[in-house]
Amino acid sequence: MRELVVVLRRPWVQRGIRASLAAALAWQIALLLPATLSDYAYYAPLGAVIAVHPTVADSAGAAWRTVAAMFLGFGLAVVVYELTRDVPNAFTIGLIVALAIVVEQWRLLREQASWVSFAAVLMLTIGTDDPGAYVLRYGGLTLLGAAVGVAVTTVLFPPMMLSVAVERIAATRGLVAAHLLDMADAVRSGTVPDPQDWSRRGEQLGTALDRMRTAETQVERARRANPRAARWQGTALRVREQSRALDRVAVLIDDLTDLVAEFQPHRRGLDRVDDGTGWVLADALTGLAGVVRIPYHDGPGHDARDDAIGAAVGALDRLTQLLRSSAVPDEEGFFALGAVTVGVRRSLRALDAEVRPETVRAPHS
C-alpha cells in the first residue's frame, strides 16, 4: 500500500491520471453537442491533453496560449489564402509558413508558439472550403477540451510538486555534506585532491543544485491558483528556505575549492598557523556538514541538530579567535582562509543554525 502511495505521488503518474480523465470527459461532453460539432468530438480530447500540465498555473497558461496560437494561425492562413488565390499553391504555402514563423516570435506565446504554423497549414489543407465552420469545430472543441483539462488539474489533486522538491533537496544536501567532509579531510591530511576527481564532483554538485533550483521554481509556480496552496504553505516555505540555504553553502564550497586546490594551505604554512588553524578549519567544515545533514529540529527539547550546531559554532569560534590572533607572512592565502571562515559563518546563518538557549545542557555537578 505504501509503495502505491509513493507511485501515486509521482508527478508523471498524477499527470497521466489527470490527462486520461480530462480527455475522457472532454470526449463525452463534445458528444452532447449538436451534430455539427459532435461529429468532430475527437478535437476535444486533444485540447484536454494540451492543457494538462504539472501545475495549475502552467495548465491555464498552456491552454489559452495554445488556443490563441491556433486562432492566429487560422486567421493568417485565411487572409493569405484569399489574397493569393491567383498564384501557385506552393507560393501560398511557403508564404503562410514564413509569416507564421514570424508571428511565432511573439514572446507572449512562449512554448505554444509552434501551434501558429501548425494551425495555419492545417487550415490551408483542410479548412479553406468553409473557414468559419472549421475554426468553430477545431478551435472551439480544442478550447472546450482545454477548459476541461484546466478544471481537472485544478480539482483532481492539483500538484504542489513537493515530493520531487523534497527528494532533490535531500540528494543535494547529501552531496554538499559529503563535499564538505572531503574538504575537511583534505585540510587535515594536507593533500590536494586529484583535479579530474575534483572537477567531476563539482559537476555532480552543480547538476544537483540545478535540479534542486528547478524543483523549487516548480513549487513556487504550483502554488499559484492552487486550492491546496494554503494547506501545504509550511512545507513549501521550508522547501524554499532549504534550497536557498544550500545555495549559500555551495558558494562556500567554491571558495574552499580555491583555497584547497589553488592556495594549497599545507604547502604555504596556513594549516600550521598557531599550531592548528587548519585542524580547527577542518573541524568547522565537519560541523557545518553535520548541520547540513540535519536540517530540522525534532522538537522543543535538545536533539541531534543542537549537538551539530554546537560543534560547528564552537569550532568556528575557535577558528575565528585563532585568525584574529595570528600573523601569517602569506597575506593572500591568509585572506582566503579568512574568507572561508566568513563563508562558514554565513552558511550557518543561512541554515538557521543558532544555539537554542533553552536546549543548552546544564553542566554536571
C-alpha cell at 304: 541531534
In angstroms, what CA-CA distances link 113 with 64, 214, 231, 241, 271?
12, 23, 35, 35, 58
The least confident of 184-188, 194-198, 200-204, 226-230 is 226-230
pLDDT digits (tens, 9 = 90+) for 125-148: 888 888 989 999 999 999 999 999
User: What value does the mean pLDDT take over residues 254-267?
Assistant: 62
Q: Which residues contact 280 (CB under 8 A, 6 or more apart)?
A: 315, 318, 319, 322
Burial class from Cβ neighbours inside 10 Å (0-12, 13-18, 19+) for residue 225 reads middle
Q: What is the pLDDT of residue 362?
A: 45
Q: What is the pLDDT of residue 32?
A: 95
Q: Of the spans 32-46, 184-198, 273-287, which averages the highest pLDDT?
A: 32-46
Q: Of the spans 297-301, 303-307, 355-359, which averages the highest pLDDT?
A: 303-307
Check whether 66 has a pLDDT greater than 70.
yes
Cα(144)–Cα(158) distance, rounded to whole angstroms?
Answer: 20
Compute CA 344 distance to the chain's CA centroid, rounded to the nearest angstrom: 25
Q: What is the pLDDT of residue 104?
A: 95
Nearest to 288 by CA among 253, 332, 322, 325: 253
Q: What is the pLDDT of residue 328?
A: 57
pLDDT band at 299 (very low <50, low <70, confident <90, very high): confident
Q: Of the spans 78-82, 187-191, 294-298, 339-343, which averages the highest pLDDT?
A: 78-82
Where does 172-359 sit in CATH, by number? 1.20.120
pLDDT band at 188 (very low <50, low <70, confident <90, very high): confident
DSSP for 26-44 reads HHHHHHTS-HHHHTTTTHH
Q: Are 35 and 82 in contact (CB under 8 A)?
A: no
Q: Specify the higher pLDDT residue, 106 or 256.
A: 106
Domain ranges of the chain: 2-155, 172-359
Q: What is the pLDDT of residue 323?
A: 76
Q: Are 149 and 59 in contact (CB under 8 A)?
A: yes
Cα(135)–Cα(114) distance, rounded to whole angstroms?
Answer: 18
Cα(177)–Cα(214) distance, rounded to whole angstroms?
Answer: 21
Q: Which residues contact 249 (CB under 8 A, 6 or more apart)?
A: 176, 180, 288, 292, 347, 350, 351
pTM of the predicted structure, to 2 decimals? 0.64
Q: What is the pLDDT of residue 262?
A: 55
CA dihedral 159, 163, 164, 169 (to 10 degrees): 140
C-alpha cell at 143: 478550447
pLDDT digits (tens, 9 = 90+) for 328-357: 555 565 676 777 788 888 888 888 888 777
Total residues found in the chain within this entry? 365
Nearest to 78 by CA among 120, 113, 117: 120
Q: What is the pLDDT of residue 137?
A: 92
Check whether 36 has a pLDDT greater than 80.
yes
In angstroms, what CA-CA distances link 305 with 44, 167, 292, 296, 312?
54, 20, 9, 7, 11
Torsion region of 215: left, alpha or beta (phi above 0 gives left; psi -120 to 50 gives alpha)? alpha
Compute CA 52 distance to the chain's CA centroid, rounded to the nearest angstrom: 19
Q: Are 218 and 252 in contact (CB under 8 A)?
A: no
3-state secondary structure of 241: helix
